[in-house]
Chains A and B, each alone.
Chain A
Amino acid sequence: MAGNEITITIDGRNVAVDPSLTIVEACATAGIKIPTLCYLKNVSQNASCGVCVVEVEGAKSLVRSCVQKPTPGMVIKTFSPRVIRARRTAVELLLANHPTDCLSCIRSGTCELRQLADTLGVKADRYPKYKKFSPPDNSSEGIVRDDSKCILCGRCVAVCAETQTVHAIAFTSRGARTRVGTFMDRGLAQSSCVQCGQCSVVCPTAAIAEKDESREVFGALGDPALTVVVQTAPAIRASLGEALGLPPGSLVTGQMVAALRRLGFTRVFDTQFTADLTIMEEGSELLERLQKGGTLPMITSCSPGWINFIEAFYPDLLGHLSTCKSPQQMFGSVAKTYYAQKAGIAPDTMRVVSIMPCTAKKYEARRPEMDAAWDWWKEHDADRVPPRPFYDVDWALTTRELARMIRMAGIDIASLQEEDFDDPLGRSTGAATIFGTTGGVMEAALRTVYEIVEQKPLASLEFTQVRGLESIKTAEVPVGGIKVRVAVAHGLSNARVLLDEIRAGRSPYHFIEIMSCPGGCIGGGGQPVLADLERKQARNQALYREDQRLAIRKSHENPAVEALYREFLGKPLGHLSHELLHTSYRPRPF
């Protein structure tokens, strides 16, 4: 908008800036990075920390640049001694009550507070400690909140309330007792929290983090009595490199496989195998609902934060959910039945580890109903029933946890030769790859449903209307004489828009894809922290590049999935599919 620009003076230089920006953004366009803490673009803007102050000529006090806008002729100093002193004091006050734990802290390498302290050259222990903290909240499966590391910046509260409309957490109490807490301070597990982990991605410190289970996994890898197999979610190949210091959008599929082998996993498989399987089941389910007058719109069910959300906030709409388990859970039940039997592994000596972009996957793996393989062994092989019940998936690790394990093992991902996934559960298609970004499940389903119904190949595989990072995307696709109307939403505030339409009886759609996290799995709560739009875009593009690169790009052409149906499951929606691959939902009052 060159026409509207105004001229201001930043540190003695005249610069033309867009007056609709804040001073912090305007300075960024001029190449000056003002530090911020409570402010996070598109997430929170509560002007509470005072780290972003600048001096404005004529103003008595320093100005918080994260909320103030420039005016014509404004003269700004971004690094005068007064500014630096004020910023330093702001950070020193925050550090007064902060544990000096950096060496053993989960955010050691990615902590904004620590970086800020470093940039500003703060002195420790300038102010006395005056706060007492309650012990960390370990109540939920996915995330841990540690008050002692909280600097009350409010980012988590904002993302939970506004981006996710979950309102699990808020500031409670006041003064020195102010903290971020849940209703009645009962902890996250008792609250409306859906475990999406978006708070852990925006938190500048270690006050909210994933529940780290890497030690347990190292333990299993070191146990010679166990066969430990691993599955990797589609989005990990586009973010693991970034978590290990490579540029955002680095695609590291082959190196990731190699690194997992070095860590000691017996078989390196791919969640994308069961993403293809999901398309077979979910596509068939959609066709059945369309043909037999089932509940429409049907909504996808692979995002566990989203499942937690609908169970809590829209229990009246549970009938709209596809009954398909998520690819993670399908993988667990197929691995511990079909594969265990085929490979001659006793299922109770097998451990399934998944690498997920997601903290809610940890919760999903521990849902009591997620023990289909155990049930299967009881029914189908009475002689070899393992002595104790077991989960289909033993541990779900986030991208961040895997990155830490790789670092700990001293593996340099960039220097590894690419390796291939193991057969058969490592075979997949481009359709499965794009599951990792918003719109991908929809596109994968359309590729398959279209070809199955029309009995002819698609002219173009790219359904571009459902791609991209806009909040809600819609399309109309003619399939077998029906104009199938579809919609895609990511981020739970956007999901609400589509759900409210259904509730009001005016949803025009047949099929809806919903992902809990903004951007889909590429922006998941277990992904590298502090992902801005550009980073998400880079991860998104990486997945589409991978799709293009793969020889097979349609789920129904995955030969290993075909074999699974031929050798084991029978047909989609068959009896065994129902036992192993489908599930049910229930209201979750909080």
Chain B
Amino acid sequence: MPRITGNGTTEGLEAIVEANRGKPGDLLTILEQAQQQDPRKYLSESTLRYISTQLQVPLSRVYSVATFYSFFSLKPQGSHVIVVCRGTACHTRGSLALLNEALARLGIREFREEEENAVTSPDSFATVRTVACFGQCALAPVIMIDGKVMSRMTVGKLVAILEKLRKGGGV
């Protein structure tokens, strides 16, 4: 039996698993939807265990997939997600400045980029995440905020968006 430690999401999870079971790529789809339906937008240990038992996929394999794709988060995420591209093109066009500005504005003191790829602000307002490349190098620097890709980003534009988000607005 799956050991679900009640975070209230089991029911939604059940439906997701049943809707996708046996389809090609079911594990990936289920993980994606499970993260989407979680209030904190992450894959908790109990979620991974449930999916493993239901699909009869070993835990290590589920974990392997969940850690391979950078869009999965194993830690609770903030209400907003800011993804900064750290590919070469974006880097040469100033993505480090964007990253540092976002971290500073969100009150995140430390982020060791070479060791982790995501960090959440202490107030859970936002998660900052880096990716190796968005594949949109012509439009560098590129960032993505709450699912929306924005090209030729500048520090000024970023600050404006963050302020808007603070006031409860969307992107």
A residues lining the B interface (CB < 8 Å): 130, 132, 161, 167-177, 181-184, 191-192, 589-590
Contact = CB atoms under 8 A, between A and B. Distances in A.
Contacts of A181: 60, 63
9 contacts: A132-B114, A170-B60, A172-B64, A174-B67, A181-B60, A184-B48, A184-B63, A184-B74, A589-B3
Given A132-B114, A132-B115, A184-B45, A172 B63 contact: yes
Contacts of A130: 114
A182 B68 contact: no
B148 interface: no
B112 to A, nearest CB: 9
A322 to B, nearest CB: 28
B76 to A, nearest CB: 15
Which among B62, B63, B68 has the highest number of chain A CB atoms within 10 Å?
B63
Q: How large is the interface on B (under 10, 10 to 19, 20 to 34, 35 or more residues)?
A: 10 to 19
B68 A173 contact: yes
B132 A167 contact: no
A156 to B, nearest CB: 12
B147 interface: no
A294 to B, nearest CB: 29
Interface of B: 3, 45, 48, 58-64, 67-70, 74, 114-115, 132
Nearest to B49: A183
Nearest to B68: A174
A35 B67 CA distance: 32
Given A170-B61, A182-B63, A191-B60, 16 more contacts: A132-B115, A161-B58, A167-B61, A168-B60, A172-B67, A172-B68, A173-B67, A173-B68, A174-B67, A174-B69, A174-B70, A175-B132, A176-B114, A181-B60, A191-B59, A192-B60
B110 to A, nearest CB: 15
Contacts of A170: 58, 60-61, 63-64
A175 B113 CA distance: 13
A167 B67 contact: no
Dominant SS among interface residues on chain B:
helix
- The 3 A-B pairs of least Cβ separation, nearest first, read A167-B58, A170-B60, A170-B64
Contact of B60 (A132, A169, A173, A177): A169
A537 to B, nearest CB: 32
Contacts of B74: 184
Contacts of B60: 167-170, 181-183, 191-192
A305 B33 CA distance: 38
A169 B64 CA distance: 9
Contacts of A132: 114-115
A170 B48 CA distance: 15
Which among B48, B68, B132 has the highest number of chain A CB atoms within 10 Å?
B68
A130 B113 CA distance: 13
Nearest to B45: A184
Contacts of B69: 174
Contacts of A168: 60
A169 B61 CA distance: 8
A356 B168 CA distance: 66
A169 B114 CA distance: 23
A173 B116 CA distance: 10
A589 B68 CA distance: 26
A161 B60 CA distance: 10
A169 B58 CA distance: 10
A182 B67 CA distance: 12
B114 to A, nearest CB: 7
Contact of B59 (A161, A171, A173, A192): A192
A285 to B, nearest CB: 32
Nearest to A160: B60
B56 to A, nearest CB: 11
Contacts of A174: 67-70
Contacts of A172: 63-64, 67-68
Nearest to A169: B60
A183 B63 contact: yes
Contacts of B67: 172-174
